[in-house]
A and B are shown apart, each in its own frame.
Chain A
Amino acid sequence: MSSGRKTGLLYAAAAALAGLDFALGVYAVYRAPFPLRVNLGSPTAYFNIYLHIPMAWATYLLYTGAFVSALVYLIRGGEKWDRLVQAFVTLGTVYAVFTLVSGMAWASESWGAAWNWDPRETAVLLLLLAYLVYFALRGSIPDPDRAATLSAAYAVAAYSMVPVSFVAPRLVQSLHPTASSFGHFMGRPDVMAVFGPKVLLSSIVALLLAYLYAERLRGAAAPGWVRYVAAGFIVAGVAVGLVLASPYLSGGVERVAAAKLDSQGRIVSLTLVGPEGNRTVRLPSPVPSPVQPAVYEGKPTIVSHLVRVAGGRVEVVRHWSVALNAAAYPVIVGLVLLLLSRRPRQATGEH
């Protein structure tokens, strides 16, 4: 198989899998399960489980790729491994930024503040800052051999932040859940049916994009259709974000402070807290709760949710962080594909 054909197939695979990943993300924020009762804020913020966590895993995977490639380069040499280091660090940094931003958006609702100096938050920030230095280091050394060698050594060293961020919740009290408390929820079949494939797809897409970036550094051009697919991802991401955020744009979003249900679990009245204060709304006729099951431990599960009440209907509104993160992922993939579709500079020869 020719190199160009292989590259074309890889781009097709990346686009197809990224599309599937995006579709699964959209399905997740509409139909996937979430914790019925949460400590703080809207339970729908926990749809971020299917958006933030797969990207965090992909970030770790990309930086692990950088670490392994850097080690191989330092032991065996070869420009191919140097290109892989650059590609993995670049994509890893993009994904790390998304991980931090998506996590902060989620934390603003579910933890009470966007930034809390939580041990894992802090460690991921250190990880990102450490790898940002890679670019500065590489760019500051004029000799390409020396630049490749020193930056590979640095990429190996910076990887130390990955195990730090991983073990942080075990070392000190953290707002992040430990594996056992998280596993309690993740282990449910209906959750794993969505979460498992989401993590797998996001990881494969991340690795493919990194490999394709390394190929671009080699001088391999992307097929012409890639830029149209990239534009499609960006438009689709923005569209999904606007649809999910539309209740906020049109107004009327309030939080349920209390609810009265009838004996069949239907909503009779809601006490709502909104920008204009508290109000109690008695519905013209009882309606089935949009959150199922409607009752947990004797209490209505619609409490704490963000809703819009209009025309006797109660609509659950996903927290804005879900809209942001659901939109950001395809936009990021689209921007990466757009970058890859640009004509590459001529690569230097092997040395």
Chain B
Amino acid sequence: MEQRRKALVFAAVFFAALLGIGLLSVKSSNYKDVSQLKLYKEPVRGLNVRGTTVPLQPGVYLLRIGDTVYQFTVRTVQPYAVAKRVQGPPIGGDDEYALFLLRGGDGYTVAALFSAKTFQQFYGTSPIMEQKVVVTGLYNPSQKAVIYRLGPDGPQPVAGPYPVFWVDKILEGCHQSYEAPSGKIA
């Protein structure tokens, strides 16, 4: 009995210790905010980063990354656009990327590019994206993206330069999915 009482005390202390360790582990698994990417001066891969998508306004645009130029069209205000390479050498494995601008808590913004083929495989061609998005991939602060708007006077810079984030995966929460009404398979 004495042994069990001592074990009970040990259990209580160990419970509190494990609870603390567990809570710390969970807190440290929180996603980084886009604004924390400022701390990285070299390319870094595998970060899970959360940001708010910046709405893209209607228009025809060019996206320049180094010597490579992509073109995209925005028909209605939306969080992303599909940019197709029109000039310069290819970057990465694709000629088309889904582009979205991710903004951190302090306004720091990156240009996130995700393979258009993979994007459309998961999202279709008219997806719903939450305003807050979590992505994982390669952050390359030495690559800068500049956005130009095509107008009667030619291309005019309208946004950037933004560091580029090459997205491997969009980690989506499902919060908004539960807001939708229910459907059935007939």
Contact = CB atoms under 8 A, between A and B. Distances in A.
Instruction: Determine if chain A interacts with chain B.
Output: yes
Chain A interface size band reads 35 or more
Contact of A122 (B11, B29, B181, B182): B29
Interface string A228-272: 000000000000000000000000000111100000000000010
A172 B29 contact: yes
Name the prevailing secondary structure of the A interface residues.
Answer: mixed
Interface in A165-200: 168, 171-178, 181-182, 184-186, 188, 190-191
A106 to B, nearest CB: 9
Interface stretch (B1-9, B37-45, B139-147, B155-163): B1-9
A141 interface: no
A146 interface: yes
B36 interface: no
A316 interface: yes
A77 B48 contact: no
Interface stretch (B55-63, B68-76, B83-91, B127-135): B127-135
A35 B183 contact: yes
A44 to B, nearest CB: 7
Contacts of A175: 134, 171-174
Interface in B1-38: 1, 3-5, 7-8, 10-12, 14-19, 22-23, 25-27, 29-31
Interface of B: 1, 3-5, 7-8, 10-12, 14-19, 22-23, 25-27, 29-31, 48, 50, 120-130, 132, 134, 136, 169-186
Interface of A: 30-41, 43-44, 46, 70-71, 73-75, 77, 110-113, 116-119, 122-123, 126, 130, 145-146, 149-150, 152-154, 156-161, 163-164, 168, 171-178, 181-182, 184-186, 188, 190-191, 255-258, 271, 273, 288-293, 296, 299, 301, 303-304, 316
